[in-house]
Structure 1
Amino acid sequence: MAQCVTRVELSVSCENLLDKDVGSKSDPLCVLLQDVGGDRWAELDRTERIKNCQKPEFSKKLVVDYYFEKVQKLKFGVYDIDNKSFDLNDDDYLGGIECTLGQVVSSSVFTRPLELKRGKPAGKGTITISAEEIKDARTVSLEVEARNLDKKVEFECIHPEKKQKKKSYKNSGIIRIKSCKIERDYSFLDYVMGGCQINFTVGIDFTGSNGDPKSPDSLHYISPDGINEYLIAIWSVGSVVQDYDTDKLFPAFGFGAQVPPNWQVSHEFALNFNPSNPYCQGIQGIVDAYRQILPQVRLYGPTNFSPIINHVARFAAHSAQQGNASQYFILLIITDGEITDLDQTRQAIVNASKLPMSIIIVGVGEADFKAMEFLDGDNGVLKSLTGEPAARDIVQFVPFRQFKNAPREALSQMVLAEVPKQLVSYYKLQGWPPVKLPEVKKM
């Protein structure tokens, strides 16, 4: 089956561009490149050239395919064009930026200072990029028609044969529309560009079955190159989600360990040992907290998921009380083994399915993960012990072993692929439009 691709168009403008021409201002053009791996960049599109201008607003939109589950690195370069050649090597470079498409679409206005090579500022030059989802032309046309429908309050019923036979025939009746309700199917990008923040929380399994972190056989052992399966999972998922959270502060917790100073088993302890402020600065902050806590806790057990699911669900429930599409929550649980509190976890997931929340479970190691596959709900609706069905499917489970020899981004693409659909299904269930409604273009 062909994959449905979301396309976005980017509008670009600049201010205070460097003046490279003698006797006149620069003649700028903006080129868009995308990272294709191996430190290689491919040109996707370019704007028109604007003559004699240091504050251009380019009319040509730059078009790019959008995937939520990928980190799509982009490079915008602005050049002073003084010849008709397509090659930019002979043209003066006025500055550029590197960013991700996620950063652009999650910002209402994305403005950055332009830089020359090696990070040197390009004077006072800035670039501003805004994104808009490209809608199907027929969809836009129907929306415009629907908005005009309230003007057409009456319709004549015409019978073609009667009209042909009788000159005096006017109609077979009148249809009068008393009320009209427009219902729009909003997309994931409508919500994200409308101001929805995606909050990312990590839960890490510190049960004894992981093995002694000092031993190379342990799943928590950090190899000489500084990684293990837990760290790879954090980086893979977090590097995508972080672009959709403005403050980049992510709560991170551990479960199943004995925690100092009393050495009581905890199933939701803050990785930074600060329960009143469990937030880590960026994905690197989560990684640093994880590395620091490993030698300070005693791996123990059992493997309980429900405490950390309920923890995040409390925040999601508080957000839901606001009655708008401003906050969505993603919980990443990384675990090595069989779940101990399956019944409580089933209930926690059923409860969370009524909230703005998704749960991603990554199984590390070689354990039997049948219980995780059961929680995923892909083979049927998950139900609580009392028979209550989940309002929607919010769990995605993948075993890490399937991705051991795959590129890093393959894991994030698999575990995050369902999140856009889950987010939209929740807000549709509630009947909540984006906080900032997308504009409908006139045809």
Structure 2
Amino acid sequence: IGIPGKNCGTIILTAEELGNCRDCATMQFCANKLDKKDFFGRSDPFMVFYRSNEDGTFTICHKTEVVKNTLNPVWQPFTIPVRALCNGDYDRSIKVEVYDWDRDGSHDFIGAFTTSYRELSRGQSQFNVYEVSSLNISKCFHLIFLPSPLSLSSTQIHFTVAIDFTASNGNPSQSTSLHYMSPYQMNAYAMALKAVGEIIQDYDSDKMFPALGFGAKLPPDGRVSHEFPLNGNVDNPYCNGMEGILEAYHESLKTVQLYGPTNFAPVINHVARYAAAVQDGSQYFVLLIITDGVISDMAQTKEAIVNAAKLPMSIIIVGVGQAEFDAMVELDGDDVRISSRGKLAERDIVQFVPFRDYMDRTGNHVLSMARLAKDVLAEIPDQLILYMKSRGIKPNQTPPDYSPPGLSPTPTV
């Protein structure tokens, strides 16, 4: 009830009817090439398993033992009631976090992933390989069922970045604009691009990114374009890494005039043309759109997404600003699958996240940006695997024999 003059906490009680499931699951995990968190020595990793609740929260249901002084731990097998993991709902999300144990209790976060009991019950297969983004957004590792699983290293990932240059973002010379060019700090677009970009560049095969803008008037004739290269080179729109994209973005702000309307379909179709040319599983294309959420060509965008769902392609949308983003949520398709002209999308290929939800009010910029990067990439592995399965495409590389810790291959997608 609170104490006058004191800022008290809150206790929330929730209830859920228990399922009748009496099954138990026995699992064993290992990890390769974990992030080194200790200044002296290696990490002391342990895993924490969380069951998801009906209200979207998570509750700890299991912790593994701590494996001391190793970056390649093999945890002991453990048995847990399926009801504790997911209350008997095989498709309910299970979140797993990995920490570096510290004696004083301030355990360092290494990474996390989500899965389900249905996926885990498949046992030793490529479906139980998990690449986990580390908190410093620079490395990743495999968390796998023993023995080592099938690798997907035969697929090259290609990212394309598209940035919204429409007038609804505000005049870049004014501090109220989402594109405001402050000499002291990055604007919302640059922050989102840097947070997501610094991790996706580790997955891109050549670190060269086509970077596009849309919704601006271009010099010298003021022509409106919904698909222009940020570096100004139509024949070679590639930028070298995220730093190259940020540099091209800032240069574009100095030369183009923000205009409109906000059309997504042209940049989606741009990437789809490349994806359509390579459908044998050797390459996969991901389009990252950063926008303020105001969209003018909803019908055309839905049609473009439905068509792209047949291709080796995914779309990530990061919304910046304070808009409602209802249209972006609709495009995400998590609740209702996108359709166009009476045709449903073959699979869900869109992931949307609002940037404002990741602004940490405590000032922990590193943590908030790491959460953003983790969530925007969360659905890509499943989307890629679903495309491969639907086309009957299997990785070229055969499953390697299990190698002892320290002899594992370099992490791959």
1:402 aligns with 2:357: yes
CA 1:33–1:242: 2 relative to 1, 3 Å: closer
1:350 aligns with 2:306: yes
Is the CA contact (8 Å cut-off) linking 1:34 and 1:73 kept in structure 2?
no
1:62 aligns with 2:72: yes
| Structure 2 spans left out of the alignment, 5+ residues | 1-24, 46-69, 75-97, 99-110, 113-130, 361-366, 404-413
Is the CA contact (8 Å cut-off) linking 2:168 and 2:294 kept in structure 1?
no
CA 1:195–1:226: 2 relative to 1, 3 Å: farther
Aligned to 1:9: 32
Question: Aligned partners of 1:295, 1:70: CA distance in 2, in Å?
Answer: 34
**Counterpart secondary structure, 2:183:** coil
Query: Structure 1, residues 78-126: CA drift from partner, whole Å, max 9, x if none?
Result: xxxxxxxxxxxxxxxxxxxxxx534xx7xxxxxxxxxxxxxxxxxxxxx
Out of 195, 198, 207, which is 2:154 matched to? 195
Query: Structure 1, residues 386-441: CA drift from partner, whole Å, max 9, x if none?
Result: 11111111101111111122621111111111111111111111111113232255
Partner amino acid, structure 1, of 2:133: K
Aligned to 2:283: 327
Query: Structure 1, residues 255-313: CA drift from partner, whole Å, max 9, x if none?
Result: 00001112111000000010110000001000000011101000000000000000001
Partner amino acid, structure 2, of 1:63: P
**Counterpart secondary structure, 1:8:** strand
Is the CA contact (8 Å cut-off) linking 2:28 and 2:146 kept in structure 1?
no
User: How do residues 105-254 of structure 1 correspond to structure 2 at under 5 angstroms?
Assistant: 134-136=144-146, 190-191=151-152, 194-254=153-213
1:437 aligns with 2:398: yes
Aligned to 1:374: 330
CA 1:69–1:363: 2 relative to 1, 3 Å: farther
1:294 aligns with 2:253: yes
Q: Computing the radius of gyration over CA atoms, which structure comes out larger, 1 or 2?
A: 1
Q: Which has the higher helix share?
A: 1
Question: Aligned partners of 1:5, 1:255: CA distance in 2, in Å?
Answer: 48
Shift of 1:224: 3.2
Aligned to 1:340: 296
CA 1:71–1:289: 2 relative to 1, 3 Å: farther
Aligned to 2:240: 281
Aligned to 2:374: 413
Report the TM-score when normalising by structure 1.
0.61
Is the CA contact (8 Å cut-off) linking 1:45 and 1:62 kept in structure 2?
no
Residues matched between the structures, number:
295
Out of 139, 143, 146, which is 1:101 matched to? 139
Is the CA contact (8 Å cut-off) linking 1:363 and 1:399 kept in structure 2?
yes
| Structure 1 spans left out of the alignment, 5+ residues | 11-31, 47-59, 75-99, 106-131, 141-185
Partner amino acid, structure 1, of 2:207: K
Partner amino acid, structure 1, of 2:36: Q
CA 1:61–1:342: 2 relative to 1, 3 Å: closer
Aligned to 1:387: 342
Is the CA contact (8 Å cut-off) linking 1:69 and 1:240 kept in structure 2?
no
**Counterpart secondary structure, 1:276:** coil
Is the CA contact (8 Å cut-off) linking 1:69 and 1:412 kept in structure 2?
no
CA 1:61–1:293: 2 relative to 1, 3 Å: closer
CA 1:387–1:136: 2 relative to 1, 3 Å: farther
Is the CA contact (8 Å cut-off) linking 2:293 and 2:328 kept in structure 1?
no
Query: Structure 1, residues 33-68: CA drift from partner, whole Å, max 9, x if none?
Result: 5248xxx6872269xxxxxxxxxxxxx982396654
Aligned to 2:107: none
Q: Structure 1 vs Structure 2: percent identity of aligned residues?
A: 49
Alignment RMSD = 2.9
Shift of 1:7: 4.4
Is the CA contact (8 Å cut-off) linking 1:196 and 1:326 kept in structure 2?
yes
Is the CA contact (8 Å cut-off) linking 1:34 and 1:72 kept in structure 2?
no
Question: Aligned partners of 2:273, 2:175: CA distance in 1, in Å?
Answer: 38
